[in-house]
A and B are shown apart, each in its own frame.
Chain A
C-alpha cells in the first residue's frame, strides 16, 4: 500500500464545553497514540459526537486544549487542520462525481493537476472504487458512498481520521463486511483514527482502545479486552455486555452471564446461592435463563444440556461462579 503512515498523536487535556447550562464535555482528557484506532463509545447524548466535532474544529470549547503531534490546534481554523472526517451520512457533495469529490481536498491544497489525478486514482483503488469514478453520489449504494467518503478523507493524508458513526446508516450484513474492510485499511494506512459509535460490538471489533463516555465525561479508557474483563465501575460493566450484580453476604459482586453457572456445574464453583427460575429462553447456541435471588434478577447463559433444557419457571436452582470471574468494581 502506497499511502504512507502519517498519523499523529492526539492529546486532549481537560476539555470543557457548555451548551447553555448543560455541560456537554466535562473535563475530558484522552491520550491517543500515533496510528492508534481509538473509539469513543457511549449512548446518545453522552458527548462522544461533541468531542469528535470539537477535535475537528466544528464546535468550540470553553476550556482545555487539544494537541495534535504536540501542537495546540485550538487557534487553527478547520480548513487548515489537516483532518480527515467521515460523516454519518457521508456528506458527499451531491453535485460532484466520485472523482471530483475525492479530488476536492487536494484542489484546496493547490496540488499540481498531475499529482491530484495520481493521488485520486490511488485513493479510489485503495477503496476499490476505481471503476465508479465518474458516477454521481446518488447513483451509488450506501456501502459505495461510504467508501467514497473514506477515500475523500484519506486522500489528503490527514494527521487524524475522524469517523462519526460511519456505519450507522448501513444494514447489518454490509456493516460487518465494512468493519472488516476498515480494519484492513487501518492496518494498511496506519492513520490515527478517532471513531464514534454507540454500537459496542463494533467498538470491540475495531478498536485498539475504547474511551467509554457518559454525561460528557470519559468513564474509562482501555483496550477492548480490559474494558470487558476489568470494568472500572458498575456503569462500564453494565454498558459493555450484560452483567449480573449478585448480592452476597460479603457484599455485591459483578459477574458476566456467561460465567454464571447453573445446577450441577454450579456445585463445583467457588461461590453458590439458590435462585428461582423466572424464564428459560432457547437462543440457538444455548439457553438464556432469567432468575431471581434476594429480590434481584440474575441472567445466565448456558450451553444446551439435558439438565438445562429440563428447567422450568418456578423451580429453585443452584447458581454459582468462580471467584476469579468476579469483576472488582470501584464504588460508583
Chain B
C-alpha cells in the first residue's frame, strides 16, 4: 500500500490495512446485483418488446382510458394522502415539542408503535373498525347519529384513512425534529413585535418547519405511489393504483410486458423523486434527523398556551386517537367469544387464540414466518455490517453513490422487486420453498442494517481503533474487542428492523410463496381479502405483541449502553 503524504491519507491507509474495502462491499453488492438489479432490470426489459424494440406497451398505457385513469388515481391518491399526512402531523408535532418529557415519550410511542406494526395488521384493524357492521358504524347507529351504516371502506375514504395512518409518521418525525430546532426566542421575538398566534404560525413556524415537512411529504408521496396492500384491501374498483394493476396483469391477465411497462413508470417516478430528494436534502436526511441548536428549544412558558395553542392540542388529541385506535380496539375484539365481530364483545374468551394455536395451517404459517425471519436476520446482519464497514473506509468520492445504491431496495416499490424476483426465480423452483421469500426479504432488510450500523460507525471514535492497533492488536482482535462492542447497539437495532421487515412482509410473500410455503401475513391476507374471521384478529394481536416485545427488547439494549 502506498503511503500518501497527507495525514488523512496516511491514517486511512493505516486503518485500511486491517480490513480491505472490497471485502466489505463485495458481498452485499453481489446480492444486490443478482437479487435486485437482475430481476428488476430483466422485468423492465420486457416492457420494450421481446424481439425488436417497441414502445407499444407505453402507447397502450396512454391510449386506453382505464389505464390512464389508473395513473391519475395513483398520483391523485398519493397527493391526497401526502396533504392529509401534513395536515394531521402539524398539531401532533407541535404538541410533542411543547409537552413534558413523559407525555412526549408517550406520544412518541403512539407514533412509533403503528409505524412498526405490520401494515397488514393495521389495514385489517381499520376494516374491522370501518366496515358497514364495524365498530364505528355500530357506535354511530347506537348513538342515533345515523340510521343506516356509512360506507367508510371499499371506497376512497377507506384508502385515504388506511394510507394516511400508515404513512403519516414519515411527516410527524421530521416535523417534530423541526419544531425542536425552532428557537423559543424566535417565536417570542415575533410575539413582542405584535404577532398573534395565527401570524406566528403562518410567518414564523410554517416557513421554518417547511424543509422538514417537505422532506417528510416527499417520502410519503414516494411510498404512496407504490402502495399495494391498503388500496387493494380498503379501496373499491375506483381506487385501483399502479401496483395493484401490475399484480392483476401478472396474476389474472398473464400480460407480463404490460405489467413491466407499468412497473417502469412506477420506477421512473420513484427514482426521479428520490433524485429530487437527494438534491434538495441529501440522503442523510432520509437516515437521520437534523442536528441540535444552541438556543432554548421552542416550548410553552409559564404563561401557558394561546387560544391557538389550545385548539391545536385538541386537534392533536384527535390525531393521537386516530393513530392508536385500530391497535387498541383489536385487542378486546380478539378476546370475544362469538364468531360475529362486535365491539365491545358480549363475552370474553381465548377461543380464537386456541383456534389459532390448534389449527395446523396457522401454526405452520407462524413457524415458517419465524424461520424465515431468523434466516433473514442472520444473513442481513452479516451483509449489512460488512457493507457499512466497507463504506465507512472507502474514499469519500464514491461513498455517496455506493450509499445510495445500498439503500435503493428501501425506496424501489416492493411490488417491482416481488414481481421481478418472481419472474427470475420461478423457473428455479425456489418459489415453493422458504428460500425464495427469504432471499427477497434479505434484499429488503439489509439496507436497514446497513443504515443503523453505518450510523453507529459514524459515532464510533476512530482513535479507539488506532489505539488498539497501536497497542499491538490485530485487526480482527481489535474488531472483536473494541469496535464490535462499540457498534453493537447499531447492529442490534438493525437486526430488529430486519426481523420486523421480514415478519411483516406480505407483498414478497404473495409472489414468492405458494400454498405449501406461505407465511403468516400471506395467510392473513388471503383471509382478509376473502372474509375476516376472528382468528385473523387473534393473529393480528399476536403480531402486535411480537412487535412490542421486539421493540421493547431494543429499548432495553439501547438503554443499557
Contact = CB atoms under 8 A, between A and B. Distances in A.
A197 to B, nearest CB: 17
Contacts of A83: 192
Contact of B207 (A79, A88, A95): A95
Contacts of B183: 89, 91
A59 B199 CA distance: 20
Contacts, number: 78
Interface of B: 183, 185-186, 188-196, 199, 203-204, 207-208, 294-295, 301-304, 306
12 contacts: A56-B192, A59-B302, A79-B194, A79-B196, A83-B192, A88-B185, A89-B185, A93-B189, A93-B204, A95-B207, A104-B203, A108-B193
Given A56-B192, A87-B185, 11 more contacts: A57-B303, A58-B188, A59-B301, A60-B302, A79-B193, A79-B195, A83-B192, A91-B189, A93-B186, A105-B193, A109-B194
Interface string A6-21: 0000000000010100
A85 interface: yes
Contacts of B294: 89
A84 interface: yes
Nearest to B206: A95
Given A58-B301, A87-B189, A89-B294, A80 B194 contact: yes
Nearest to A91: B185
Nearest to B200: A79
B256 to A, nearest CB: 50
B475 to A, nearest CB: 43
A168 to B, nearest CB: 12
Contacts of A91: 183, 185-186, 188-189, 295
A75 interface: no
Contacts of A79: 191-196
Given A79-B196, A108-B195, A93 B188 contact: no
Contacts of B195: 79, 104, 108
Interface in A78-104: 78-85, 87-89, 91-95, 104
Nearest to B188: A58
Contacts of B196: 77, 79
A53 interface: yes
A152 interface: yes
A109 B190 CA distance: 12
Most buried by B among A60, A104, A153: A104
A193 interface: no
The 5 closest A-B pairs by CB, nearest first: A105-B193, A108-B194, A91-B185, A87-B185, A91-B189
A64 to B, nearest CB: 14
A58 B189 CA distance: 10
B185 A156 contact: no
Nearest to A59: B302
Contacts of B191: 58, 78-79
A53 B302 CA distance: 10
B185 A53 contact: no
